[in-house]
Structure 1
Amino acid sequence: MAIIRLASQYGRYGYRRITAMLRAEGWVVNHKRVERIWWREGLKVPKKQPKRGRLWLNDGSCIRLRPSWPNHVWAYDFVQARTHNGRAFRMLTVIDEFSRECLAILVARRLRSDDVLHLLADLFADKGPPDHIRSDNGSEFTAKTVRAWLGRIGVKT
């Protein structure tokens, strides 16, 4: 099968690039069909090496921020996965970096900035707000409403 041949030949290419290569070879294919075949055949692109996490404040200073006590620094991030039938879902995870305790996991097909706000509000009511909160600066975390809300509460990002 041409998809498997190209995937093994070009190991870092995903299904979108493979679709473009198939079209260049003269195949008439739809990217959604290639994606379905890609997942059915169990093809995956190898993960890149993860970059080291940010340990400094978001104000441009060079102070390396390390957690010193519980509730000092929290980290939150999205993890995306797929079900056995190929449907994507997202998980919002919040951890306390000092104790490495997972404070919350929210699972849904779609998560937006207001979902982040609701989860954080519940956590702040339960555990109290942290001094700092760290994220990967994804669109849900850098949204004006999230940053303004965290600023009003006094949580540094």
Structure 2
Amino acid sequence: MNFKRIHRLWKQQGLKVPVKKAKKRRLGNSEGGVIRRSAEYPNHVWSVDFIFDRTEDGRSLKILSLIDEFTRECIALEVGRKFTGDDLVALLSDLFVSRGIPSFIRSDNGPEFISKAVRSFLDFIEVGTSYIEPGSPWQNGYVESFHSCHGALKRDQ
């Protein structure tokens, strides 16, 4: 039986036929989203995000991934039990010395990324922040795509 036959039978029996809903298309129109501020050259926009995993004994791991949106190169992949804002500042300062300073860093609104230490550090060296809207991972699409391409890395929500 196909959909059309079932639809016709429902109508014949006087049943209410469910209306097919159109799928909403999300464009990520936030100020910090990929569509509004796309990378135009290397070191223009870096994307950073965390993913979580567990070891065999059940202890959690936190994996920080940082990519250059223009070149799609993975700049850093740090693994640890926990990361604080100070840890992120230390990592970014080392990367800025070796790779140069980006114009913007795109991230979600996680506690590590919005900490006073990180915000004051980025303001001091004049790196713009591009925060995505909460619950909108498609606005940070390059790093999310990087996570999905690497099957060993999985995201716990």
The aligned residue for residue 19 of structure 2 is none
SS of 1:98's partner is: coil
SS of 2:57's partner is: coil
**Which string of whole-angstrom CA distances, capped at 9 and with x for unpartnered residues, describes residues 78-100 of structure 1?**
11101122111101111001111
Superposition TM-score, scaled by structure 1 size: 0.61
Q: Is the 8 A contact 1:90 1:107 kept in 2?
A: yes
What is the CA RMSD across the aligned residues, in angstroms?
A: 2.1
Q: What percentage of aligned pairs have identical amino acids?
A: 48
The aligned residue for residue 24 of structure 1 is none
Which is helix-richer, 1 or 2? 1
The aligned residue for residue 30 of structure 1 is none
Equivalent residue letter for 2:52: Q
Superposed structure 1 runs of 4+ greater than 3 Å apart: 51-55
Per the TM alignment, residue 114 of structure 1 is displaced from its structure 2 partner at its CA by 0.8
Q: Distance in 2 between matches of 1:70 and 1:135?
A: 18
* 1:62-73 map, 5 Å: 64-73=36-45
Distance 1:125 1:57, change over 3 A: same
Distance 1:151 1:96, change over 3 A: same
Do residues 56 (structure 1) and 31 (structure 2) align?
Answer: yes
Aligned residue-pair number: 103
Structure showing greater radius of gyration is 2
Superposition TM-score, scaled by structure 2 size: 0.61
The aligned residue for residue 96 of structure 2 is 124
Distance 1:106 1:128, change over 3 A: same
Equivalent residue letter for 1:73: V
Q: Greater RCO between the two (CA within 8 Å, min separation 6)?
A: 2
Do residues 104 (structure 1) and 76 (structure 2) align?
Answer: yes
Note the residue ranges of structure 2 that are not aligned, 5 or more in a row: 1-25, 130-157
Equivalent residue letter for 1:121: S
* 1:1-157 map, 5 Å: 56-57=31-32, 64-157=36-129
Per the TM alignment, residue 56 of structure 1 is displaced from its structure 2 partner at its CA by 2.7
Equivalent residue letter for 2:78: L
Q: Distance in 1 between matches of 2:27 and 2:78?
A: 24
Per the TM alignment, residue 57 of structure 1 is displaced from its structure 2 partner at its CA by 3.9
Q: Distance in 1 between matches of 2:88 and 2:71?
A: 22
